[in-house]
């Protein structure tokens, strides 16, 4: 899926636009420079996503004015099906993913949370949920959800990747970011985005000594 950079009423500087590209996280429904896998079921909605450049400055999550129009035509038939099968987690995932792709993060959060009420151990969905919270401007809840995903699988690579980005960019916690990425590298030595992780790590040391 291709990324359409969010637009605001003010022009972005080159640094801001460059920085925004960084925060395309490892998530199944995310946008940007992405390697996707099919995610028809709630048990596998996540795919690996890379970013194309290291940041020059901390980016901001999406603001409400940057959201796209609700994908009514896509979602309407799925919502109709959901009326007769409200606990269909595959259907809930499709709806959540559609809203996420349209940058309708509050709606995506709603449907991801409905999945997790039924199947709380779906770590890929919980990782997507954490990322949606991040893009919705809530770094603290994003970290909570990523930590919960890691409570089910402490070595889950995508959650570790995203946790590092949110701690770095959302909390200015360089040490926390490095710890997450080091664990990712230690436990997933063949991680397909390893080069990108190493690139991020090389950007953090100057921040690591600062107060989170």
What one-character-per-residue DSSP string does 12-38 give? PPHHHHHHHHHT--S-TT--SSB----
Cα–Cα distance for residue pair 51/136, rounded to 1 Å? 19
For residue 205, is pLDDT > 50? yes
Spatial CB neighbours of 197, under 8 Å, sequence gap ≥ 6: 161, 164, 181, 184, 185, 191
Cα–Cα distance for residue pair 63/149, rounded to 1 Å? 25
How confident is residue 25, by pLDDT bands cut at 50, 70 and 90? low
* pLDDT tens track for 180-201: 999 999 999 999 999 999 999 9
For residue 14, is pLDDT > 70? no
For residue 151, is pLDDT > 60? yes
* pLDDT tens track for 161-175: 999 999 999 999 999
Three-class DSSP category at 123: helix
- Spatial contact of 61 and 135, defined as CB atoms under 8 Å apart: yes
Using only the alpha carbons of the chain, give its radius of gyration: 17
Partner residues linked to 49 by β-bridges: 34
CA distances from 70 to 77, 87, 100, 206 (A): 14, 23, 10, 41
How confident is residue 51, by pLDDT bands cut at 50, 70 and 90? very low
pTM score, whole prediction = 0.70
Cα–Cα distance for residue pair 95/10, rounded to 1 Å? 31
Cα–Cα distance for residue pair 204/70, rounded to 1 Å? 37
* pLDDT tens track for 78-97: 999 999 999 999 999 999 99
Domain architecture of the chain: domains with CATH: 14-208 (1.25.40.10)
Give the number of other Cβ atoms within 10 Å of residue 177's Cβ.
26
Spatial CB neighbours of 67, under 8 Å, sequence gap ≥ 6: 102, 103, 104, 105
């Amino acid at each position: 899926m291709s990324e359409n950079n969010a637009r605001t009423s003010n022009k972005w500087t080159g640094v801001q636009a460059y920085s925004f590209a960084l925060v395309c996280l490892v998530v199944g429904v995310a946008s940007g420079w992405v390697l996707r896998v099919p995610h028809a079921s709630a048990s596998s909605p996540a795919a690996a996503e890379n970013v194309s450049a290291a940041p020059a400055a901390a980016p901001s999550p999406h603001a409400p004015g940057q959201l796209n129009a609700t994908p009514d035509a896509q979602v309407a038939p799925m919502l109709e099906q959901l009326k007769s099968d409200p606990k269909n987690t595959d259907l809930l995932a499709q709806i959540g993913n559609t809203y996420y792709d349209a940058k309708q993060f509050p709606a995506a959060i709603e449907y991801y949370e409905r999945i997790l009420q039924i199947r709380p151990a779906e770590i890929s969905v919980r990782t997507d949920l954490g990322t949606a919270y991040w893009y919705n401007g809530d770094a603290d809840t994003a970290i909570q959800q990523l930590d919960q995903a890691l409570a089910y699988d402490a070595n889950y690579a995508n959650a570790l990747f995203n946790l590092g980005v949110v701690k770095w960019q959302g909390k200015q916690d360089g040490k926390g970011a490095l710890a997450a990425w080091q664990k990712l590298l230690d436990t997933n030595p063949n991680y397909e985005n390893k080069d990108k992780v190493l690139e991020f790590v090389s950007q953090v040391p100057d921040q690591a000594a600062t107060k989170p």
